[in-house]
Structures are given as structure tokens and as C-alpha cells.
């Protein structure tokens, strides 16, 4: 399993956890919103590794958007939930099938 897939599982799990309505908000606010820049960095690293491995990257892009907009009360909850789902789906998919003569 590639490092990008492992990071997708980890970041997706964290995003799903942050989507728990009262608990997730309490954790984000309790961290003085510092969890959002940390998650932003995690999503950027995951995106770079996904691009390098030619894996789906829409979950990581959604995570970056979520990290920027998650301070908005109900928008943050929806974005955390959707991002967690997208990351889990892309982690389960892995690398798309590429014909052997196109692989690097």
C-alpha cells in the first residue's frame, strides 16, 4: 500500500471524526482552530503523493477546501463529512488501471 493511500485512510478517518456534530466542533474550537491548518498541511502532503503516484486526488483537493472553509459552523460539518467520504473512497480505489506501456 502506498504512502498516499495510507494518508488518505488517516486523513479520511480524522475528517469523519470531525464530522460528528458536537464533538467535532468542540475539538476544532478547543484547539483554537489550529487543527484546521494542521489538516490543511496533511491534505497538501497527501495531494502531492497522490499526484506522484498517479492516484485519484479529488479527496485531497476537497480536504484542502474543507480546511479553508471549515470555520463556518454548518458548512464545516457538511464539508468534513463529504471530505471524509471522498478520501475513504479514493483510498479504497488506489491507482487506476493503466496499460503496462504507460506505467512509469
Q: What is the pLDDT of residues 57-96, one digit of tens each?
A: 999 999 999 999 998 989 999 999 999 999 999 999 866 6
Domain segments of the chain as ranges: 3-93
pLDDT in the model for residue 83: 96
Q: What is the pLDDT of residue 94?
A: 64
Residue 42 is predicted with a pLDDT of: 96
Q: How far apart are CA 104 and CA 102, in angstroms?
A: 6
pLDDT tens column, 1-47 = 889 999 999 999 999 999 999 999 999 999 999 999 999 999 999 99
Alpha helices, H only, 1-104: 3-18, 21-30, 35-52, 58-69, 73-93
Amino acid at each position: 500500500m502506498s504512502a498516499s493511500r495510507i494518508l488518505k485512510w488517516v486523513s479520511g478517518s480524522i475528517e469523519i471524526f470531525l464530522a460528528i456534530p458536537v464533538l467535532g466542533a468542540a475539538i476544532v474550537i478547543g484547539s483554537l482552530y489550529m487543527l484546521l491548518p494542521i489538516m490543511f498541511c496533511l491534505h497538501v502532503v497527501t495531494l502531492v503523493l497522490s499526484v506522484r503516484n498517479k492516484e485519484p486526488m479529488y479527496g485531497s483537493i476537497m480536504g484542502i477546501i474543507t480546511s479553508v472553509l471549515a470555520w463556518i459552523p454548518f458548512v464545516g460539518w457538511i464539508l468534513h463529512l463529504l471530505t471524509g467520504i471522498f478520501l475513504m473512497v479514493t483510498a479504497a480505489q488506489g491507482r487506476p488501471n493503466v496499460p503496462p506501456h504507460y506505467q512509469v
